[in-house]
Amino acid sequence: MELHVVINGRKDLASQLYQQLRDAIESGRLAPGTQLPPSRLLAEQLGISRKTISDTYAVLTYENFLVGKIGSGTFVNARIPISRRKQSHTDFASAELIDYWHNLKSPLRHPTLEGMARYDFIGGATVKNQFPDEEWRRCTQHALRQISNSRGYYSQPEGLPALREAIARHISFARGVVCVDDDVVVCNGAQQALDVIARVLIRQGDTVAMEDPGYSPARLLFSAQGANVVGVPLDDEGIRVDLIPDGTRLIYVTPSHQFPMGMPMSNARRVALLNRAQQLGAIIIEDDYDSEFRYEGRPTDSLQSMDDRGNVAYVGTFSKTLLPELRLGYAVLPPAILEAVIIAKQLTDCHTSTLPQWALAKFIADGYLQKHIRRCLGIYAGRRERILARLNSDLAPWFDVVPSTAGFHMAVLCKVPVNIALLIELGKKVELGLYSLAPFFHDAESKPGLLLGFGAIETLDIDPALDRLKSLLNQLS
């Protein structure tokens, strides 16, 4: 075998050789099991010392790229973990589809907590220092006892009866959702609820309509399932129902607290939306992700409670009220699709893990969730008030606040031209985490502005954070 190695000049001979051999192995050009030339021969061929060769072989052997077999020579290790080789997916029949998935990476990325700034307005993070550790521990003990008494088999795809009951009670009370236990399907967070509902309703090429700007992970999910996702513009009252196209099979909305803008959907718009869905024979997904936190005005009930024709699938989550990493959410389904969604859930992952399910059922039934929501609501209300006070006073020259009444983020739109991308970059330098609204606009024309989440930032940090923001804005003007 002729080994193709090119040595340039007389410098770094060992590292040149090392890198070329390693590349050849990782890329598969030097196939696993291939015998390498004896160091003496390769030294002659390349005109470098035999010691350089054998030292390089030794390093590569130490790193498991090569393996020495006594009496027969040095070979490319046949058992290099595949992952240590660079491998392209272009040799695969599904290359194009794999490409598609790779391209979702950056729009889907959650900002990592490790990268979180000292003063961070990230959305979706909960007020962690309030997490009721002791109550949750007690409920998990209960879960362990239940599992200990179980029979070593699968649980129900639709969720544990105890949890379905607890959820039905919680959302009847907290959100005016009209349902009984049997309407509830437990999922791994709201995202999986969207996945299983969309699976039973759409095939390649079917139209899904959603708010634009809107919740990107939902858009990416429906697209990845093959849907033709149409972004429908918003006005002050919510989604422009008149622009929902004919042929739409699924409509995704966030009526209580539009994501990301924040305004609630008006009553008239809700009625129009329900009628449009009925006319289309479409299902509406009402994603009610954070409306347990409500600050002012008369509580608006869910869209689901206005639906008397079975067009609304209500989706909720405990990621906002409890903890995202527990991955617990649910869907309340109209009769036409309930059974089908349960089957889709079973086919997807059989059912949600019973360990967190039992714990949450107990946590809700014992009243801890309501207590926890009340406690967090107080904290979020204080933060919200502080942010609004500043936005309505010294930050007013730059921003308009989009009016909202629920949740724990708000959207602000620029009144004057601000380079948001630059603002965010400058923010990082003063330990300030800012987030643009831009990634949530798709077909609609992007409005420059910020999404200000107040789950992660401490109340006392708000003023220093907004001082920094103001000073950056002054700098940019």
Site residues for a second copy, 144-163, by CB under 8 A, read: 144, 147-148, 150-155
Q: Which is nearer to a second copy, 96 or 385 (by Cβ)? A: 96
Nearer residue to a second copy within complex by CB, 341 or 426: 341
Examine residue 94 and tell whether it contacts a second copy (CB under 8 A).
yes
Paired with 251 in beta bridges are 209, 284
> CB 303 → a second copy: shortest distance, Å?
13
Q: Does 113 bind a second copy (CB under 8 A)?
A: yes
d(CA 186, CA 199): 16
Residues numbered 409-428 forming contacts with a second copy, rule: CB under 8 A: none
Distance from C-alpha of 332 to C-alpha of 287, rounded to nearest angstrom: 11
Rounded Cα distance between 328 and 360, Å, is: 9
The least CB distance from residue 223 to a second copy, in Å, is 10
Segment lying near a second copy (by CB under 8 A), choices 66-74, 215-223, 363-371, 399-407: 215-223
CA-CA distance, 437 to 410, in Å (whole number)? 10
Contacts by 151-154, CB closer than 8 A, 24 or more apart? 154/350, 154/351
Dihedrals phi, psi of 349, to nearest 5 degrees: -155, 30
Q: Which of 53, 171, 221, 473 binds a second copy (CB under 8 A)?
A: 221
Any contact of residue 97 with a second copy (CB under 8 A)? Answer: yes
Contact between 203 and a second copy by CB under 8 A: the answer reads: yes
Could you give the 3-state DSSP secondary structure of residue 341? helix
Per CB under 8 A, contacts with a second copy among 116-145 are 116, 122, 124-128, 131, 133, 136-137, 140, 144
**Residues 33-72, mask of contacts with a second copy (x by CB under 8 A):** x---------------------------------------
Least distance CB 322 / a second copy (angstroms): 10
Rounded Cα distance between 234 and 271, Å, is 16
Nearer to a second copy, 292 or 405 (CB): 292
Task: Report the residue from 8, 9, 69, 204 that binds a second copy according to the rule CB under 8 A.
Answer: 204
User: Distances from the Cα of 248 to the Cαs of 195, 276, 311, in angstroms?
Assistant: 17, 10, 13
Q: Rule CB under 8 A: say whether 377 interacts with a second copy.
A: no
| 245 lines the binding site for a second copy (CB under 8 A) | no
Label residue 176 left, alpha or beta by phi (over 0 means left) and psi (-120 to 50 means alpha).
left
Among 135, 158, 165, 206, which residue sits at the site for a second copy (rule: CB under 8 A)?
206
Q: What are phi and psi of 105, to 5 degrees?
A: -55, -50
Q: To which H or E segment does residue 357 belong?
A: helix 354-365
Give me the torsion for CA of 344, 346, 347, 350, rounded to 10°: 150
Q: How far is the CB of 206 from a second copy (least distance, A)?
A: 8
For a second copy, the closer of residues 71 and 152 by Cβ is: 152
Q: Are strands 283-287 and 248-253 parallel, antiparallel or unpaired?
A: parallel
Residue 81 engages a second copy in binding (rule: CB under 8 A):
yes
Site for a second copy in 271-290 (CB under 8 A): 280-283
